[in-house]
Amino acid sequence: MTSVASFFFGLMVALSFLSLQLALASDPGHLQDFCVADATSSVLLNGVACKNPSTVTANDFYFRGLHVAGNTSNAQGSRVTPVFAAQLPGLNTLGISMVRIDYAAGGQNPPHTHPRATEILTVLEGSLEVGFVTSNPNNNHFTKTLYKGDVFVFPSNTVHYQRNTNWNAPAVAIAALSSQNPGAITIANAVFGSQPGISADILAKSFSLDVATVNYMQSKF
């Protein structure tokens, strides 16, 4: 191959690669300072439409309430108080959110995933047993007991949980998530409480249970 032919061949490869990168690329940063969510808009977007910047105020970037303990009087003994774009409009397009999690004595935040976010959690009061499980085929379980001031990260999409290890006192944690709307899929609810329900035969085979046990489990959701 001549030097000229080599040059044009290399140029074509580089242009092909550049075209592929452009096709797959997304905006690396914001195109404006902010895009405060407009809850009144009927426009359907992958996110929320922006308010007119001239109507934005400081309150659009403000949320009050994380000092208030959540009501943990439920079957799991926990309560998540979210601060997503729905609660704090100024978070829209910023790719971040947070939650307060309250745990009753012995309470838990049951196994769940966040389909759109990594989570980093800090214990404010008490102690928590936390863990996550990696994807197939290894399904490795990483678990740790955390105390006040400790931090733990749950990688995006992994099944994870927290449990208050103290049966005599509540616990509190704050978590940040890498999405304005991270989503949550609680495993038990999704599997046994879907609407319409998954066939009991399928679940029985999947979990090596009998159909009667599956029917009982589904009745609880």
Express each pLDDT in 189-219 by its tens digit.
Answer: 999 999 999 999 999 999 999 999 999 999 9
- Let me know: does 114 contact 182? Beta carbons within 8 Å: yes
pLDDT, position 63: 97
Instruction: Give residue 182's Cα distance to chain centre.
Output: 4
In the annotated binding site for oxalate, the residues are 109, 114, 119
Mean pLDDT, residues 162-188 taken together: 96
pLDDT, position 48: 86
pLDDT, position 45: 76
Point out the least confidently predicted range of 5-19, 28-42, 49-63, 117-131. Answer: 5-19
Residue 3 has pLDDT above 90, yes or no: no
Q: What is the pLDDT of residues 24-33, one digit of tens each?
A: 444 446 678 8
The helix (run of H) or strand (run of E) holding residue 99 is strand 97-103
What is the Cα–Cα distance from 170 to 106, expressed in whole angstroms?
8
pLDDT, position 46: 76
Residue 128 has pLDDT above 80, yes or no: yes
Tokens of 113: 């995933």
Query: What SS3 class is residue 213?
Result: helix
pLDDT, position 29: 61
In the annotated binding site, the residues are 109, 112, 114, 119, 160
pLDDT, position 6: 58
Give which of 94, 68, 92 is closest to 81, Cα–Cα: 68
What is the Cα–Cα distance from 142 to 128, expressed in whole angstroms?
14
Residue 177 has pLDDT above 70, yes or no: yes
In the annotated binding site for Mn(2+), the residues are 112, 114, 119, 160
